[in-house]
Structure 1
Amino acid sequence: MPDRHTANARHSAPPAIHYRISATEPYAHIYHVQLTVAHPAAGQQLALPVWIPGSYLVREFSRNLHSLQATQDGRPVTVTALAKNRWQTDCTADAPLVLEYRVYAFDNSVRTAWLDDARGFFNATSLCLRVLGQEDAQHVLLVPPPSQHVAAAEGGTAWQLATALQPVSIDDRGFGEYRAGGYDELADSPVEMGAFWSGSFEACGVPHRFVVAGAGPRFDGERLLADARRICETAIRFWHPDIDQGGQPPHDRYVFLLNAVGSGYGGLEHRHSTALICSRADLPRQGDAPQPDGYGTLLGLISHEYFHTWNVKRMRPTQFARYDYDQENYTELLWFFEGFTSYYDDLLLRRAGLLDDAGYLKLLGKTLHQVAQTPGRQVQSVAQASFDAWVKYYRQDENTANLTVSYYTKGALVALCLDLSLRQQGRTDLDAVMRALWQRSQGGPISEDDVLQALQALSGQDWRAPLAAWVHGTDELPLGPLLARQGITLGHKTPGWALRLGIQVQERSGASPVLRRIQSGSLAEQAGLAVHDEWLGVRLPGGSQDAADNGSQAWRLTALDDLETLLPAGTQRFDALLARDGRLLWRTVALDGLDAPDIPGSAAAAQGEVELGIADAGRLQDWLGKPAAAR
C-alpha cells in the first residue's frame, strides 16, 4: 500500500532524467539499469564517474559496466565509446532516448556497489550514467522490489530500502521512486536494500534513521540509537549553539547506513547520510556485560562522518565547489577537512559523555604515537599529503610510512596545536574559529586564506608563520609544551624490540612472522633486513654459523619480543636468521647505535606507546569542558 509519500504529480510531465535500477540477478551480482532521457541532445553524450567524492582515488567504475545499448522510438541507436568512461549516442533531439546496460556489483565497501541474495547497496556514481549537459535537471530514481526468490533466500524476510533521497511514490518497504535535484544530489545519496534492522530518533528536532545490515541476535539497537542521538545532538549544538533559540542545522533529515561484516571498518560521508562498515563483533550487545572495545571505535566513526555534514559536505575546499567526476580534483586542504574532523570526532564523544577523560587521552595518545612512528612526516608536509592523496594515501605499500604522512592524524594534531594555542592565549578557541568559518562561508567553499582570516579576526594575531611551519613544513609540532601548559604529562612506555629495530611484523598462525615494514634509516634497514623477509630466529653471541647449520642450539627460533631476555646485557650485535625468496640468510644487526637520537630505529627515536597523564585536572577541564551526564 503506498504511504503518505505518494506523489501528487502523477499526471505531470515525466522527469528529464529517469533511472530504473533492478536487482534481478543477485547470484550473478548484476544490476540492470534502464536510463530514459526525456529530451536528449542530438548525439547525446553520457559518462560514468571515475571516482566518488570523499574517497580520493580514481577507481574506474566503468570497468564494471557492460552490455550498453540504446533505442529511440523503439529503433536501435548506435553507441560509440569516446573514452574509458564516456559514450556518444547517434540519436536525434526529437524523442526520448532509452539506454539499457548491466553493472557488476561485488565490492562490499562503502564506495561502490554490492548485490547478492542477502543484501543490495549502491552509490549512483557506480551505476548511473551522467547525461552530459543535463546534470542540473531533475533526476528520478526508481527501484522496484526485488524478485520473490531473493526474499526466500533470507528465510522469507521481506527486503526493505533505505536512502536519504526524497521519496516521490514508494511502498511501505521503501521501494519505488525517489527524486534528486540534479546528478550531484543523486551521486551523494547511497541506497541500502535488504532485510536490515531499522530504528529512528530525533536530534535537536531533526529526524534521523539508523539502518544496520548483518546484525546478530544479541545486537542492542536501542543502545546504538541512544548513543548516536547523543553524538548528533552534540555535533548540532557545536555548530549551532543557538539551536534552542531558533537556530537551524543545514539538514532536515539524516540516514545512517551501517553494514556489519565479519571484519571491516570505514565510512563515507554524504550531505544527508553516511555509509558505514564495521565488524559485527563491534556492535553493542544486549545485557549487562561490558560492551566490546570496538564499539567505542564505531562511535568514533559515527561522530567523524556526522561532523562531515558541515565540514566537507557543505563547507568545503574551493576546488570542490563543483565536482569534476571525470578526473582527480586536487586540494591541499584535506588536513583541515579530514584532519580537523578527526580532531573533533573523539573530542565530541568526550563532550557527549560517551568517553571519560582517561579514555579520551588514551585515544589522543594513540594519534600522537601513530604520527611519531611515521618517518614520512619529515619528508612530506601535511598540505602535500592532501594534494598527493590520489596517488599516495589511497595506494599505500610497504614504503608509504617512510615517504608520506597522514592528513587525518597529523591534521588532527595541527588542530590540537591550534586549539591549545588559542585557548592559552585567552581570547578564543578553535570551536569559535570553526563556527566563524561556517558563518563566513554560509556553508559553502573556503580557502586557506579564509582560515587565516578567521584566526586573525578572533585571536588578533597573524597565524601565517605557524601554519607555514605546521602545515606546509615538516618541523615537529610543539605538542609537548602545549600539552604541559594544559595540565597534561606526556610519557612513553618502553618500546619493544620490533619498534627499536624499526620494523613491523605480520604474525601468522603456525608460521614465522613476516617483516611488513622497515623504517627508513633504522637499525633494521642498516643491517640489510627487507620487507617480506621471514623472521626465523637469532644466533646467540658466541655461537657459530657452522653450528647453526649443523642443527645445534647455537641459534634459536624466537619472537622479537623475546630478545629482551635472550640477549645478554651489553650486547653490541646479534645475527638474525631470515628466509628470503625460499633461501636462508644471516644478517648482523649492530646495536651500538641503539641510543642514537638521529637513528629512527634507536631507543631514543623509536619511543614506545604514548602515555598521557593528568597533572592539573582544572586546566584539563578548561579545554575538554564538562561532559554531558553519563549514561
Structure 2
Amino acid sequence: MLMTKDRKLPDNFVLYNIEIFDLYGHRYKVTINLNDTKNKQIVYIPRWIPGSYVIRDFSSNIEQIKAFSQKKPLAITKLDNSTWIIDECQDHVQIEYIVYAYDDSARGAYLDANRAFFNGTSVFLCIDNLEHLPCIVNINLANQCKEKQWQIYTSLPKINDIKNQTNENQYNTYIANSYDTLIDSPVEIGTPTTCEFLSFGTIHKIVFSGPLSKIDTKKISRDIKKICEEQISFFDPTTKTPPFIDNGNIFIFIINLNDNYFGGIEHRSSTVISTKRKFLPTTNIAKQPKEYSEFLSLISHEYFHSWLIKRIKPASFIKYDLKKPTLTNLLWIFEGFTSYYEDIFLLRCKLINKNYYLNTLAEKINRTINYPGKYKQTLEESSFDAWIKFYKQNENSINSTVNYYEKGSLIAFGIDTEIRKQSENKYSLDDLMRFLWQKYGKDFYIDKQKGMSNDDIVKDTKESTGVDISYIINKYVKDTDDIPIDQWLNYYGLRLECINKLQPVLQINTFDQEGKVIVKNVIDNGPSYNAGISSGDILIAINNIRLDSTQDLIDIVKLNKIGDEILVHLFHLNELISVTVRLETADKIYKIKNTGKPTNDI
C-alpha cells in the first residue's frame, strides 16, 4: 500500500477503529472517536451502497451500539431503522458497536477464519454534517490473524506518523479525505495470492481471495493489463494518465473466487469481483474456459466505471443521499454505455475475435426484442425505477420492464453508428466519451464538481461531433419504439437473420430443482399464458411423457410443429391439473450475418 510521507494530521477528523473481534462469530467491533462534540450528535449507517441501486439496510447487522464520554455512558436513542442520536456532552464522544459480517458477495462485509472483507457502507457509521471531514482508520488484527500473517489490501493511503495519537500499530492506519472516499475504498484482509503490474506508471494490484487450485494468475494478470492500458489510452491518448491519480497511485482488483456469485461493483480506485473458479484459466489445461471471456468482460466493465460513473456522473450522484434512493434517469448511459464498451475493449485488445463479439451482440438483441416489457417501460423509466424494479425482479419482470444495461448498450451501438455515418467516419462515440471525460470527469475530485443532466447527452454529442441524436433519444430512450437494429447493422455490412422461424416454443422460462421442472416466468399472450400456466407451476409430463429436467421439456417440444397441441400435466398450488397448449408461436432468434457488401469496421 501507499505510504504518506511527512503527513501532518488534519486539525479535525473522525477516527475509526475497526477490530477483527470474533472470527468464528463473524463479527467486527467498530469504535468511533469524535472531538469536541457539544451538541447532540446524529449518526447513521448507509441504507445502500453506491453502484448497487437497492435499499439493503445494513443496519440490520449492527449489534450492541453504545456511546461514552470520558468512559461514562451517554444516552443513545434510535430515530429510525438506520439512525441514532447521542446526548450532548462537553467533551469528546466515543461510539462502540458490533457488526455481524457474513455476506460473501461484493456488496457487503464478511469475516471468517480464512479472510476478512468489508465495504465501508456496511461497517462505518456516518457522522451527520461531518461527512466532509477526513477519516482516519485503524485496522486492528486479532492475534489469530497475526499468527496467520494476514495482510491488508486497500486503495486507501497508509499513514505512518501518528503512532502516539491514534494507534500503537501505525502500520495498519489509513486515511480518507472524506466519508465518501472512506466508503468507496473496500478492504480485503487475509493471505490471498497477489499479482502486480504497472500501467503508465500506476500500480495495479490483483488480489485473489480463495483457493486458486492451479488458476493461471499470470495469464489473468497479462490480460487485465491489456484492458487497463487500452482504456487509459482511450480516455487520455496524449498523456495516458489514469483517472484515479486524484486518489493515489494504485488501483486494486479484489477478486473473490466464489461459486455462489458472479458479478462486481465499482469503486473510485478499486473494484470487487465475485467469480466462479470454473470461469478462469488453469495452468494444467491449455484451452481456456468459454466463460473466461465473460470474466474479462466483467473486468472491463468495472474498470471502465473508473471514468464513467465514478467521475463522469449524473448530476444527482454528485452527493449521494445514503439514507434513501438517489434517483436518476441516466443509468441507461452509465451502465448501458459501459456494457457497450466492455466487449469493444476486449475486441480492441484481441482478447476476443469479431465472431465472438457479434454473437454476444446478437444475444443482447434477442433478449431485448423478445420480451413484452420493451413496450411497457422506457429506458429512462427503467433507470429511474431501478431501485424498485430492476433490482427487485419477480416473475412478471420480463413482461413489464426493460434492461437498461442491455438495451442501453444497443442504444450506444446505435449512437456510435449514427455519429460515424453522419460525420462520414470523422467522429464516433469514442470522441463523445473523451469529451465527457474532459467536461465532467477529469477534474471531478480536484475542481468544482459537475454532473450530467437529462438533456446533456444530446447537447454534448452535438458539441463534440456535430451530430444531432435527439431523434434517437426521443424514440428509443424516452419512448418505446422498436430500435432499428438492422439499419444500424447494415452500416457495417451486417444483417439480422432469423434462425428459428418454424420451431414452436412454450414461451416460458423454467429451472430445475431436485428433479422437478419449475416455471419461473410466463411471457404475456404466449401459448403457455393462454393455456393458464403460471409461475411456480411444476411441470411433470407432456403428452404423458415424464419430465425430469428443462432439457427434457425442450426436447419434447422440438418434436412438434407450429399448430400442434400438447397435453401438459402440472401441479398448480399443489393441485394436479392438465392443460392443453396450442403451439402457435415461434421465438424470433437472430444471428448476425454478413450482407456481402462493402463494410465499415466496427
What is residue 607 of structure 1 aligned with on the other side?
Answer: 588
Which runs of structure 1 show a deviation greater than 6 angstroms over 4 or more consecutive aligned residues? none
Q: Residue 300 and residue 5 in structure 1: after superposition, are their counterparts in 2 closer, same or farther (change >3 A)?
A: same
Which of 551, 556, 564 does residue 563 from structure 1 map onto?
A: 556
Give structure 2 stretches of 5+ with no counterpart.
164-168, 443-449
| Residue aligning to 1:598 | none
Post-superposition offset of 1:63: 1.0
Q: CA deviation at 1:174?
A: 10
TM (norm. structure 2) is 0.92
Does structure 2 retain, via aligned residues, the 8 Å contact 1:16–1:39?
no
Please tell me whether the aligned partners of residues 244 and 269 of structure 2 are also in contact (alpha carbons under 8 angstroms).
no
The residue aligned with 2:251 is: 254
After TM superposition, the score normalised by the length of structure 1 is 0.88
Query: 2:582 aligned with 1:590, yes or no?
Result: yes
Is residue 524 from structure 1 mapped to residue 516 from structure 2 by the alignment? no
State how far apart, in whole Å, the 2-side matches of 1:139 and 1:455 are. Answer: 39
The partner residue of 1:375 within 362, 372, 377 is 372
Q: Secondary structure at the match of 2:390?
A: coil
Residue in structure 1 matched with residue 428 of structure 2 by the alignment: 429
Report if the CA contact (8 A) 1:512-1:535 is conserved. yes
Matched AA of 2:153: A
Q: Letter of the aligned partner of 1:436 in structure 2?
A: F
**Does the Cα contact within 8 Å between 2:419 and 2:467 map onto a contact in 1?**
no
One of 359, 362, 368 as aligned partner of 1:362: 359
1:481 is aligned to 2:487: yes
Contact (CA 8 Å) 1:36, 1:98: kept in 2 or not? yes
**C-alpha spacing 1:586/1:418, structure 2 compared with 1 (3 Å):** same
Is residue 472 of structure 1 aligned with residue 475 of structure 2? Answer: no
What SS does structure 2 have at the residue aligned with 1:577? Answer: strand
How much has 1:404 moved relative to structure 2? 0.4
CA distance in 2, matches of 1:103, 1:493: 54
Partner of 1:235: 231
Is 1:49 aligned to 2:46, yes or no? yes
Equivalent residue for 1:494, pick from 491, 495, 500: 500
SS in 2 for 1:445: coil
Determine the C-alpha separation between the residues in 2 that align with 1:117 and 1:250: 33
Structure 1 residue 458: Cα displacement: 3.6
| Deviation (angstroms), 1:13 | 6.9
Q: CA deviation at 1:612?
A: 1.6
Aligned mates of 1:295, 1:137 — CA distance in 2: 42
Q: Percent identity?
A: 32
Q: Is this contact kept in 1: 2:63–2:98, CA < 8 A?
A: yes
2: distance between equivalents of 1:224 and 1:281? 13
Listed as ranges, the matches of 1:148-163 within 5 Å are 148=144, 150=145, 157-163=148-154
Q: Is the 8 A contact 1:15 1:139 kept in 2?
A: no
| Deviation readout 1:437-495 (Å, 9 max, x if unpaired) | 22222444112322111221244343222201111111110101110221113223327
Deviation larger for 457-466 or 178-187: 457-466
The 1:565–1:521 alpha-carbon spacing in structure 2 relative to 1, beyond 3 Å, is: closer
Q: Tell me, which stretches of 5 or more residues in structure 1 are unaligned?
A: 540-554, 595-601, 624-631
From 15, 18, 21, the equivalent of 1:18 is: 15
Q: Among 302, 311, 315, which residue is 2:312 paired with?
A: 315
CA contact (8 A) 1:144 1:175 kept: no
Is 1:574 the counterpart of 2:555? The answer is no
Q: Distance in 2 between matches of 1:145 and 1:116?
A: 13
CA-CA distance at 1:286 after TM superposition: 1.0
Task: Name 1:165's counterpart in structure 2.
Answer: 156
Matched to 1:521, the amino acid is: N
- Per the TM alignment, residue 420 of structure 1 is displaced from its structure 2 partner at its CA by 1.1
> What is the rounded CA distance, in whole Å, between the counterparts of 1:208 and 1:383 in structure 2?
35
Aligned-partner SS, 1:394? helix
Amino acid at match of 2:154: T
What is the Cα deviation at residue 40 of structure 1? 2.2
8 Å Cα contact 1:161-1:174 kept in structure 2:
no
Question: Hey, what does 1:129 align to over in structure 2?
Answer: 125
Q: 1:51: Cα distance to partner?
A: 0.7
SS at match of 1:486: coil
- 1:30 Cα deviation (Å)? 0.7
Aligned with residue 104 of structure 2, among 98, 103, 108 = 108
2:80 matches 1:91: no
Partners of 1:74 and 1:387 lie apart in 2 by 47
Q: Mean alpha-carbon deviation: is it higher for 421-430 or for 376-385?
A: 421-430
- Is residue 438 of structure 2 the alignment partner of residue 439 of structure 1? yes
- Decide whether aligned partners of structure 1 residues 496 and 250 sit closer, same or farther in structure 2, where only a CA change above 3 A counts: farther
Distance in 2 between residues matched to 1:175 and 1:524, nearest whole Å:
63
Q: Are positions 1:506 and 2:498 aligned together?
A: no
TM-aligned CA deviation for residue 570 of structure 1? 7.1
Letter matched to residue 448 of structure 1: N
**What is the match of residue 466 of structure 2?**
460
Residue 161 of structure 1 and its aligned partner are, at CA, apart by: 1.1
Structure showing greater radius of gyration is 1
Offset at residue 407 of structure 1 (A): 0.6
Matched letter for residue 611 of structure 1: K
Question: Are 1:119 and 2:115 an aligned pair?
Answer: yes
Q: In 1, are the aligned partners of 2:495 and 2:592 still within 8 Å (CA)?
A: yes
1:577–1:264: structure 2 CA closer, same or farther, 3 Å change rule? same
Instruction: Count residues with an aligned counterpart.
Output: 580
1:546-569 CA distance string (max 9 Å, x none): xxxxxxxxx2225322335644x6
Name the counterpart of 2:191. Answer: 195
- SS of residue matched to 2:391: coil
Q: Give the CA RMSD over aligned residues.
A: 2.3
Cα drift, residue 397 of structure 1: 0.9
Residues of 1 paired with 2:231 and 2:170: CA distance? 28
